Amino acid sequence: MIVAALHLPDLSIDRDLSLAFLEDYVLANGEVFVGAGIRRIMLQDQTRQKGPASAETIAITAALGRALKQAYPEISLGIIVQAHDAVAPLAIAHATGAEFVRLKVFVGAAMTMEGAREALATEARTYRHQLRRDDIAILADVFDRTSVPLINVTPEEAAKGAVKLGADALVITGATFTESLERIGAAKRAGVHHPILIGGSVTAENIADTLAVADGAIVSTALMRKDTGRHERVLWDSGKTQQFMEAACLR
């Protein structure tokens, strides 16, 4: 299972970007992924804001997600928002026809560079049920490497807790690629049978090793073009993406 993360510009600083530009940006980069054979694309809002996602963030991300899904109806669309918010990504997924969301702090609590974060599991599961959209899968990060856990449990115990609290799949990413594989192996040995994806540091060179342990990978940076400008329309490299998918299929 390969998921390509299509990062949106940070709209907290890029307020000059028009919706027309953003639509062109999403569709052009989506074409790179689809052309290489990727069928799972996660639209990643990166607007930094204090508290839950703003109405503007929700509206823009939903509009772009809908445009992407209409242009490429064959893809499985995912949603993630930068804000610490259980409701916004599910609401966007509901409006766009997305099949999954990713939540970074699903169980426990964590300290990030932007401050403390509490678990989103209970609120997310409750809201998803209120929407009557239990078909929207939740990809739950377990001790994401961009934060420090504030509870004293092992990553594998946290993984089991995430499954118990409603996660449909897990994202496990350690400080290094090796640590990521070790954590995934430990979770599987502890009895986690849900799909586990690695959330970072995956390349064409190590994708075979990745898929020997994990059930899939989220990839983005490794597929990007170098030295792109701030407002360039296409950020992902079709050649790199094709090479990555060929390596993934050769396993």
pLDDT reported for residue 50: 82
Domain CATH for 163: 3.20.20.70
State the number of CA atoms in the 13 A half-sphere of 45 facing the CB.
34
pLDDT reported for residue 250: 61
Residues 241, 36: contact at Cβ < 8 Å? yes
Below-70 pLDDT ranges, the chain: 250-251
Look up the domain containing 116 and give its range: 2-249
Strands 196-198 and 169-172, sheet pairing: parallel
Nearest to 136 by CA among 198, 87, 82: 87
pLDDT reported for residue 251: 53
Residues 233 and 179: their CA atoms lie apart, in Å, by 35
| Token pair for 161 | 């807790």
Flag whether the pTM goes above 0.85: yes
Find the radius of gyration of the CA atoms of the chain: 17
Residues 145 and 120: their CA atoms lie apart, in Å, by 17
- What is the H or E stretch that residue 186 is in? helix 177-189
Q: Say how far residue 37 (Cα) sits from the centre of its chain.
A: 18
State the number of CA atoms in the 13 A half-sphere of 198 facing the CB.
28
Nearest to 37 by CA among 232, 226, 227, 219: 219
Strand partners of residue 216: 197
Question: In 10 A of CB 17, how many CB atoms?
Answer: 16
pLDDT reported for residue 112: 82
Give tens-digit pLDDT for 29-54.
999 999 999 999 999 999 988 889 99
Angle at 15 between CA 50 and CA 231, to 5 degrees: 120
For the chain, the domain total comes to 1
Angle at 230 between CA 29 and CA 33, to 5 degrees: 10
Residues 130, 123: contact at Cβ < 8 Å? no
Query: What order do you get walking across the sheet with 115-118 strand by strand?
Result: 115-118, 109-112, 147-149
Residues 109, 149: contact at Cβ < 8 Å? yes
Residues 231 and 228: their CA atoms lie apart, in Å, by 8
